[in-house]
Protein backbone atom coordinates (compact mmCIF):
# COMPACT_ATOMS: atom_id res chain seq x y z
CA UNK A 1 0.00 0.00 0.00
CA UNK A 2 2.83 2.41 0.82
CA UNK A 3 4.47 1.82 -2.57
CA UNK A 4 1.25 2.62 -4.43
CA UNK A 5 0.71 5.79 -2.40
CA UNK A 6 4.27 6.93 -3.13
CA UNK A 7 3.67 6.46 -6.87
CA UNK A 8 0.47 8.47 -6.59
CA UNK A 9 2.19 11.31 -4.71
CA UNK A 10 5.04 11.41 -7.21
CA UNK A 11 3.09 11.35 -10.48
CA UNK A 12 -0.51 12.50 -10.01
CA UNK A 13 -1.40 16.20 -10.10
CA UNK A 14 -1.46 17.48 -6.49
CA UNK A 15 -5.18 18.24 -6.48
CA UNK A 16 -6.52 15.67 -3.98
CA UNK A 17 -6.08 15.37 -0.22
CA UNK A 18 -6.28 11.60 -0.07
CA UNK A 19 -6.53 9.48 3.05
CA UNK A 20 -3.63 7.01 3.42
CA UNK A 21 -5.80 4.16 2.14
CA UNK A 22 -5.43 2.13 -1.06
CA UNK A 23 -8.63 0.27 -1.83
CA UNK A 24 -8.57 -3.14 -3.47
CA UNK A 25 -12.11 -4.47 -3.87
CA UNK A 26 -15.64 -4.20 -2.59
CA UNK A 27 -18.97 -5.96 -2.23
CA UNK A 28 -22.25 -4.25 -1.55
CA UNK A 29 -21.63 -1.37 0.87
CA UNK A 30 -18.29 -2.76 2.08
CA UNK A 31 -14.77 -2.25 0.68
CA UNK A 32 -11.35 -3.65 1.57
CA UNK A 33 -7.91 -2.06 1.31
CA UNK A 34 -4.75 -3.76 0.06
CA UNK A 35 -3.89 -4.75 3.63
CA UNK A 36 -7.18 -6.58 3.99
CA UNK A 37 -8.86 -4.05 6.29
CA UNK A 38 -12.64 -3.85 5.87
CA UNK A 39 -14.66 -0.62 5.76
CA UNK A 40 -18.33 0.34 5.70
CA UNK A 41 -18.74 2.72 2.76
CA UNK A 42 -21.21 5.54 3.46
CA UNK A 43 -19.60 7.81 0.86
CA UNK A 44 -20.39 5.54 -2.09
CA UNK A 45 -17.82 7.18 -4.35
CA UNK A 46 -19.56 10.51 -3.53
CA UNK A 47 -23.11 9.34 -4.30
CA UNK A 48 -21.93 7.39 -7.37
CA UNK A 49 -22.05 3.70 -6.44
CA UNK A 50 -25.84 3.48 -6.39
CA UNK A 51 -25.85 -0.33 -6.58
CA UNK A 52 -22.88 -0.69 -4.28
CA UNK A 53 -19.73 -2.58 -5.23
CA UNK A 54 -19.76 -5.66 -7.43
CA UNK A 55 -23.52 -5.82 -8.00
CA UNK A 56 -24.07 -8.83 -10.28
CA UNK A 57 -26.45 -7.01 -12.64
CA UNK A 58 -23.95 -4.23 -13.26
CA UNK A 59 -20.99 -6.60 -13.53
CA UNK A 60 -22.87 -8.76 -16.05
CA UNK A 61 -23.92 -5.76 -18.16
CA UNK A 62 -20.36 -4.42 -18.32
CA UNK A 63 -18.83 -7.80 -19.14
CA UNK A 64 -21.47 -8.60 -21.75
CA UNK A 65 -21.19 -5.24 -23.51
CA UNK A 66 -17.37 -5.19 -23.41
CA UNK A 67 -17.35 -8.42 -25.39
CA UNK A 68 -19.52 -6.83 -28.10
CA UNK A 69 -18.71 -3.14 -28.46
CA UNK A 70 -17.15 -0.54 -26.16
CA UNK A 71 -16.92 2.64 -28.21
CA UNK A 72 -17.64 3.74 -31.79
CA UNK A 73 -18.06 7.56 -31.52
CA UNK A 74 -21.28 9.47 -32.11
CA UNK A 75 -21.10 9.21 -35.88
CA UNK A 76 -23.18 6.06 -35.37
CA UNK A 77 -26.03 4.97 -33.13
CA UNK A 78 -25.87 1.97 -30.80
CA UNK A 79 -28.56 -0.14 -29.18
CA UNK A 80 -27.57 0.68 -25.55
CA UNK A 81 -27.52 4.44 -26.23
CA UNK A 82 -30.88 4.50 -27.99
CA UNK A 83 -32.48 2.46 -25.20
CA UNK A 84 -31.00 4.70 -22.51
CA UNK A 85 -32.14 7.98 -24.04
CA UNK A 86 -35.65 6.58 -24.47
CA UNK A 87 -35.74 5.36 -20.86
CA UNK A 88 -34.51 8.66 -19.42
CA UNK A 89 -37.10 10.56 -21.45
CA UNK A 90 -39.80 8.20 -20.21
CA UNK A 91 -38.76 8.51 -16.55
CA UNK A 92 -38.39 12.30 -16.57
CA UNK A 93 -41.17 13.36 -18.91
CA UNK A 94 -38.64 15.49 -20.79
CA UNK A 95 -38.27 15.12 -24.54
CA UNK A 96 -34.59 15.05 -25.49
CA UNK A 97 -31.40 13.60 -24.00
CA UNK A 98 -27.73 14.40 -24.60
CA UNK A 99 -25.25 11.90 -23.18
CA UNK A 100 -21.76 12.78 -21.98
CA UNK A 101 -19.20 11.32 -19.58
CA UNK A 102 -19.33 13.42 -16.39
CA UNK A 103 -21.46 15.75 -14.33
CA UNK A 104 -19.19 18.64 -15.27
CA UNK A 105 -19.84 17.96 -18.96
CA UNK A 106 -23.55 17.73 -18.26
CA UNK A 107 -23.54 21.20 -16.71
CA UNK A 108 -21.53 22.61 -19.62
CA UNK A 109 -24.08 21.11 -21.98
CA UNK A 110 -26.95 22.57 -19.98
CA UNK A 111 -25.37 26.03 -19.96
CA UNK A 112 -24.70 25.95 -23.70
CA UNK A 113 -28.21 24.74 -24.46
CA UNK A 114 -29.75 27.46 -22.30
CA UNK A 115 -27.56 30.14 -23.85
CA UNK A 116 -28.32 29.07 -27.41
CA UNK A 117 -32.02 29.10 -26.64
CA UNK A 118 -31.74 32.53 -25.00
CA UNK A 119 -29.75 33.97 -27.90
CA UNK A 120 -32.36 32.78 -30.39
CA UNK A 121 -34.90 34.75 -28.36
CA UNK A 122 -32.69 37.84 -28.20
CA UNK A 123 -31.92 37.48 -24.50
CA UNK A 124 -28.34 38.32 -23.47
CA UNK A 125 -28.59 38.33 -19.67
CA UNK A 126 -26.82 36.14 -17.10
CA UNK A 127 -27.37 32.61 -15.93
CA UNK A 128 -28.47 32.93 -12.30
CA UNK A 129 -27.08 30.42 -9.78
CA UNK A 130 -27.52 30.11 -6.03
CA UNK A 131 -25.10 31.02 -3.26
CA UNK A 132 -23.52 27.87 -1.82
CA UNK A 133 -23.97 25.93 -5.05
CA UNK A 134 -21.52 23.61 -6.77
CA UNK A 135 -21.75 22.90 -10.50
CA UNK A 136 -18.32 21.46 -11.24
CA UNK A 137 -14.76 22.69 -11.60
CA UNK A 138 -14.63 23.80 -15.22
CA UNK A 139 -14.24 27.52 -15.82
CA UNK A 140 -17.97 27.90 -16.39
CA UNK A 141 -18.64 25.65 -13.41
CA UNK A 142 -16.62 27.74 -11.00
CA UNK A 143 -17.89 30.98 -12.54
CA UNK A 144 -21.36 29.90 -11.48
CA UNK A 145 -20.17 28.49 -8.13
CA UNK A 146 -18.54 29.47 -4.87
CA UNK A 147 -15.98 32.28 -4.80
CA UNK A 148 -13.39 30.08 -3.09
CA UNK A 149 -13.18 27.84 -6.16
CA UNK A 150 -12.55 30.89 -8.38
CA UNK A 151 -9.47 32.07 -6.52
CA UNK A 152 -6.36 31.91 -8.70
CA UNK A 153 -8.32 31.21 -11.88
CA UNK A 154 -9.39 34.75 -12.69
CA UNK A 155 -10.60 36.39 -14.82
CA UNK A 156 -13.93 34.62 -14.68
CA UNK A 157 -16.07 34.54 -17.82
CA UNK A 158 -18.94 37.00 -17.84
CA UNK A 159 -22.58 35.96 -17.91
CA UNK A 160 -23.03 34.42 -14.46
CA UNK A 161 -24.55 35.93 -11.32
CA UNK A 162 -25.35 34.51 -7.89
CA UNK A 163 -28.34 35.17 -5.66
CA UNK A 164 -29.20 33.91 -2.14
CA UNK A 165 -30.37 30.29 -1.98
CA UNK A 166 -34.00 29.76 -0.94
CA UNK A 167 -34.83 33.48 -1.20
CA UNK A 168 -38.03 34.07 -3.18
CA UNK A 169 -37.54 37.82 -2.91
CA UNK A 170 -34.02 37.74 -4.36
CA UNK A 171 -35.16 35.51 -7.20
CA UNK A 172 -38.07 37.80 -8.07
CA UNK A 173 -35.75 40.80 -8.12
CA UNK A 174 -33.08 39.10 -10.23
CA UNK A 175 -35.09 37.43 -13.01
CA UNK A 176 -36.20 39.56 -15.92
CA UNK A 177 -36.82 39.34 -19.66
CA UNK A 178 -33.05 39.22 -20.36
CA UNK A 179 -32.17 36.36 -17.97
CA UNK A 180 -30.65 33.41 -19.83
CA UNK A 181 -31.50 30.72 -17.25
CA UNK A 182 -31.88 29.91 -13.57
CA UNK A 183 -29.94 26.92 -12.19
CA UNK A 184 -30.76 25.26 -8.85
CA UNK A 185 -29.72 22.09 -7.02
CA UNK A 186 -32.84 20.61 -5.36
CA UNK A 187 -30.41 19.65 -2.59
CA UNK A 188 -27.06 21.42 -2.40
CA UNK A 189 -24.55 18.61 -1.96
CA UNK A 190 -21.09 20.16 -1.77
CA UNK A 191 -22.82 23.17 -0.21
CA UNK A 192 -23.51 21.11 2.91
CA UNK A 193 -26.55 18.92 2.16
CA UNK A 194 -28.99 21.84 2.09
CA UNK A 195 -32.42 21.01 0.61
CA UNK A 196 -34.18 23.67 -1.40
CA UNK A 197 -37.45 24.83 0.12
CA UNK A 198 -40.27 23.34 -2.02
CA UNK A 199 -41.97 26.74 -1.97
CA UNK A 200 -38.79 28.30 -3.34
CA UNK A 201 -38.73 25.81 -6.21
CA UNK A 202 -42.40 26.42 -6.97
CA UNK A 203 -41.74 30.15 -6.94
CA UNK A 204 -38.78 29.67 -9.28
CA UNK A 205 -41.03 27.78 -11.68
CA UNK A 206 -43.62 30.57 -11.58
CA UNK A 207 -41.08 33.37 -12.14
CA UNK A 208 -39.30 31.52 -14.93
CA UNK A 209 -42.61 30.83 -16.67
CA UNK A 210 -43.56 34.48 -16.39
CA UNK A 211 -40.47 35.56 -18.33
CA UNK A 212 -39.98 32.48 -20.50
CA UNK A 213 -36.67 31.67 -18.78
CA UNK A 214 -35.40 28.05 -18.73
CA UNK A 215 -35.24 26.50 -15.26
CA UNK A 216 -32.28 24.13 -14.88
CA UNK A 217 -32.15 21.57 -12.09
CA UNK A 218 -28.71 20.16 -11.33
CA UNK A 219 -29.49 16.62 -10.14
CA UNK A 220 -26.01 15.25 -10.67
CA UNK A 221 -25.87 14.18 -7.03
CA UNK A 222 -29.57 13.88 -6.21
CA UNK A 223 -30.80 12.00 -9.28
CA UNK A 224 -31.49 8.27 -9.68
CA UNK A 225 -33.29 7.40 -6.43
CA UNK A 226 -30.83 9.15 -4.11
CA UNK A 227 -33.47 11.18 -2.25
CA UNK A 228 -36.28 8.63 -2.20
CA UNK A 229 -37.60 9.68 -5.60
CA UNK A 230 -36.16 8.89 -9.02
CA UNK A 231 -35.48 12.63 -9.31
CA UNK A 232 -35.39 15.00 -6.35
CA UNK A 233 -37.58 17.58 -8.10
CA UNK A 234 -40.51 15.16 -7.66
CA UNK A 235 -40.67 16.06 -3.96
CA UNK A 236 -41.79 19.59 -4.88
CA UNK A 237 -43.83 18.72 -7.96
CA UNK A 238 -41.77 21.21 -9.97
CA UNK A 239 -40.47 19.92 -13.30
CA UNK A 240 -37.48 21.72 -14.84
CA UNK A 241 -36.95 22.68 -18.45
CA UNK A 242 -33.42 21.27 -18.37
CA UNK A 243 -32.18 18.49 -16.07
CA UNK A 244 -28.62 17.28 -15.52
CA UNK A 245 -27.64 13.82 -14.27
CA UNK A 246 -24.43 11.87 -13.67
CA UNK A 247 -22.98 10.15 -10.54
CA UNK A 248 -25.50 7.40 -9.69
CA UNK A 249 -26.65 6.96 -13.29
CA UNK A 250 -23.77 4.66 -14.21
CA UNK A 251 -23.26 3.04 -10.82
CA UNK A 252 -19.55 3.86 -11.03
CA UNK A 253 -19.08 3.84 -14.82
CA UNK A 254 -18.59 7.46 -15.96
CA UNK A 255 -21.68 8.86 -17.66
CA UNK A 256 -23.63 12.11 -17.58
CA UNK A 257 -26.81 13.35 -19.22
CA UNK A 258 -28.60 16.56 -20.14
CA UNK A 259 -32.36 16.26 -20.51
CA UNK A 260 -34.49 19.06 -21.93
CA UNK A 261 -37.86 19.99 -23.33
CA UNK A 262 -38.17 19.81 -27.10
CA UNK A 263 -38.53 23.57 -27.51
CA UNK A 264 -35.23 24.20 -25.74
CA UNK A 265 -33.24 21.26 -27.12
CA UNK A 266 -34.26 22.18 -30.65
CA UNK A 267 -32.32 25.44 -30.32
CA UNK A 268 -29.22 23.31 -31.02
CA UNK A 269 -28.15 22.24 -34.49
CA UNK A 270 -25.62 19.61 -35.64
CA UNK A 271 -22.15 20.80 -34.64
CA UNK A 272 -23.34 23.12 -31.87
CA UNK A 273 -22.34 20.60 -29.22
CA UNK A 274 -20.90 17.10 -29.05
CA UNK A 275 -18.58 14.63 -27.38
CA UNK A 276 -16.21 11.86 -28.39
CA UNK A 277 -16.70 9.47 -25.47
CA UNK A 278 -20.14 10.49 -24.23
CA UNK A 279 -22.87 7.91 -24.59
CA UNK A 280 -20.53 5.10 -25.58
CA UNK A 281 -21.99 1.61 -25.66
CA UNK A 282 -20.25 0.40 -22.49
CA UNK A 283 -21.36 3.34 -20.32
CA UNK A 284 -24.91 3.17 -21.66
CA UNK A 285 -25.13 -0.57 -21.01
CA UNK A 286 -24.06 0.11 -17.43
CA UNK A 287 -26.64 2.89 -17.03
CA UNK A 288 -29.39 0.71 -18.46
CA UNK A 289 -28.48 -1.99 -15.93
CA UNK A 290 -28.59 0.56 -13.10
CA UNK A 291 -32.04 1.84 -14.08
CA UNK A 292 -33.39 -1.69 -14.51
CA UNK A 293 -32.03 -2.69 -11.11
CA UNK A 294 -33.38 0.42 -9.40
CA UNK A 295 -36.83 -0.51 -10.67
CA UNK A 296 -36.54 -4.27 -10.12
CA UNK A 297 -35.21 -3.98 -6.54
CA UNK A 298 -37.51 -1.04 -5.70
CA UNK A 299 -34.54 1.10 -4.69
CA UNK A 300 -36.54 4.34 -4.82
CA UNK A 301 -38.72 3.05 -1.99
CA UNK A 302 -35.71 1.59 -0.20
CA UNK A 303 -33.93 4.94 -0.36
CA UNK A 304 -36.95 6.73 1.07
CA UNK A 305 -37.44 4.23 3.90
CA UNK A 306 -33.79 3.81 4.81
CA UNK A 307 -33.28 7.56 4.61
CA UNK A 308 -36.16 8.26 7.00
CA UNK A 309 -34.83 5.59 9.37
CA UNK A 310 -31.30 7.02 9.14
CA UNK A 311 -32.59 10.48 10.06
CA UNK A 312 -34.29 9.00 13.12
CA UNK A 313 -31.08 7.29 14.21
CA UNK A 314 -28.96 10.38 13.59
CA UNK A 315 -31.36 12.50 15.63
CA UNK A 316 -31.55 9.91 18.40
CA UNK A 317 -27.78 9.58 18.67
CA UNK A 318 -26.54 13.07 17.78
CA UNK A 319 -29.26 15.73 18.02
CA UNK A 320 -28.19 16.73 21.54
CA UNK A 321 -24.46 16.26 21.01
CA UNK A 322 -22.50 19.41 21.85
CA UNK A 323 -20.50 19.19 18.61
CA UNK A 324 -23.56 18.81 16.34
CA UNK A 325 -25.32 21.96 15.11
CA UNK A 326 -27.88 20.50 12.72
CA UNK A 327 -29.03 17.28 11.05
CA UNK A 328 -30.71 17.52 7.67
CA UNK A 329 -31.26 15.82 4.36
CA UNK A 330 -33.69 13.70 2.43
CA UNK A 331 -33.60 10.03 1.48
CA UNK A 332 -30.10 8.58 1.47
CA UNK A 333 -28.54 12.04 1.25
CA UNK A 334 -28.12 13.28 4.79
CA UNK A 335 -25.72 15.53 6.64
CA UNK A 336 -24.74 16.30 10.21
CA UNK A 337 -23.38 19.83 10.55
CA UNK A 338 -20.64 20.01 13.15
CA UNK A 339 -19.25 22.74 15.35
CA UNK A 340 -15.74 21.66 14.30
CA UNK A 341 -14.00 20.94 11.00
CA UNK A 342 -14.87 17.58 9.56
CA UNK A 343 -11.43 16.55 8.26
CA UNK A 344 -10.15 15.00 11.50
CA UNK A 345 -13.51 13.29 12.00
CA UNK A 346 -13.29 11.72 8.54
CA UNK A 347 -9.78 10.48 9.24
CA UNK A 348 -10.66 8.99 12.60
CA UNK A 349 -13.79 7.30 11.22
CA UNK A 350 -11.64 5.68 8.53
CA UNK A 351 -9.29 4.38 11.23
CA UNK A 352 -12.34 2.80 12.87
CA UNK A 353 -13.58 1.26 9.61
CA UNK A 354 -16.05 3.75 8.09
CA UNK A 355 -15.48 5.74 4.90
CA UNK A 356 -17.27 9.10 4.96
CA UNK A 357 -16.47 12.68 4.04
CA UNK A 358 -17.19 16.26 5.03
CA UNK A 359 -19.00 18.62 2.65
CA UNK A 360 -18.59 22.37 3.00
CA UNK A 361 -15.80 21.82 5.58
CA UNK A 362 -17.95 20.76 8.54
CA UNK A 363 -20.94 18.72 7.33
CA UNK A 364 -20.56 14.96 7.68
CA UNK A 365 -22.24 13.60 4.59
CA UNK A 366 -23.94 10.20 4.25
CA UNK A 367 -24.51 9.25 0.59
CA UNK A 368 -24.09 5.45 0.75
CA UNK A 369 -24.96 2.84 -1.85
CA UNK A 370 -28.74 2.51 -2.10
CA UNK A 371 -28.39 -1.18 -1.26
CA UNK A 372 -26.73 -0.56 2.13
CA UNK A 373 -28.24 -2.41 5.08
CA UNK A 374 -29.70 -0.72 8.15
CA UNK A 375 -27.14 -2.59 10.23
CA UNK A 376 -24.29 -0.94 8.34
CA UNK A 377 -25.95 2.47 8.57
CA UNK A 378 -26.42 2.02 12.31
CA UNK A 379 -22.79 0.98 12.75
CA UNK A 380 -21.63 4.03 10.80
CA UNK A 381 -23.69 6.39 12.96
CA UNK A 382 -22.33 4.75 16.11
CA UNK A 383 -18.78 5.21 14.87
CA UNK A 384 -19.49 8.87 14.10
CA UNK A 385 -20.84 9.35 17.62
CA UNK A 386 -17.81 7.59 19.11
CA UNK A 387 -15.45 9.88 17.21
CA UNK A 388 -17.36 13.01 18.23
CA UNK A 389 -17.34 11.83 21.85
CA UNK A 390 -13.56 11.43 21.65
CA UNK A 391 -13.19 14.94 20.22
CA UNK A 392 -15.60 16.49 22.70
Q: Sign of dihedral through CA atoms 329, 379, 54, 3?
A: positive
Distance CA 26, CA 180 (A): 44
CB atoms within 10 A of CB 177: 12
218 is catalytic: yes
Element (H or E) spanning 227, and its range? none
User: Which one from 247, 306, 317, 385 is the annotated catalytic residue?
Assistant: 247
Please pick, among 200, 217, 218, 376, the residue that the annotation labels catalytic.
Answer: 218
Catalytic residue among 98, 134, 200, 366: 134
Contact, 73 vs 228, CB < 8 A? Answer: no
Residue 339 appears among annotated catalytic residues: no
Strands (E), the chain: 23-27, 30-33, 38-41, 96-100, 127-130, 160-163, 181-184, 187-188, 194-195, 215-218, 242-245, 256-260, 324-330, 333-338, 354-355, 357-359, 363-366
Q: Are 329 and 335 in contact (CB under 8 A)?
A: yes
Dist. CA 188–CA 363, nearest whole Å: 12
Q: Is residue 231 annotated as a catalytic residue, yes or no? A: no
Active site amino acids: 134, 218, 247
Amino acid sequence: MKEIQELDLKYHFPVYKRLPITLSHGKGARVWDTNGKEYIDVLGGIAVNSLGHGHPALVHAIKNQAEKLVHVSNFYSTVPQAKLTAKLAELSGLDRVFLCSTGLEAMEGAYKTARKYANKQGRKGPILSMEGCFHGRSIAGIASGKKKFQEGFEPMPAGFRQIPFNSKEALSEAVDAQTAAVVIEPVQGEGGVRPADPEFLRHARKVCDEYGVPLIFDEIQTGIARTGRMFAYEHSGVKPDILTLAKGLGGGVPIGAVLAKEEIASALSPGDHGTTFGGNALACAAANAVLQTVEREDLVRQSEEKGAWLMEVLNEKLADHPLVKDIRGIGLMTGAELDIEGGPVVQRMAELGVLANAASVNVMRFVPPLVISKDDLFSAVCILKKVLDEMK
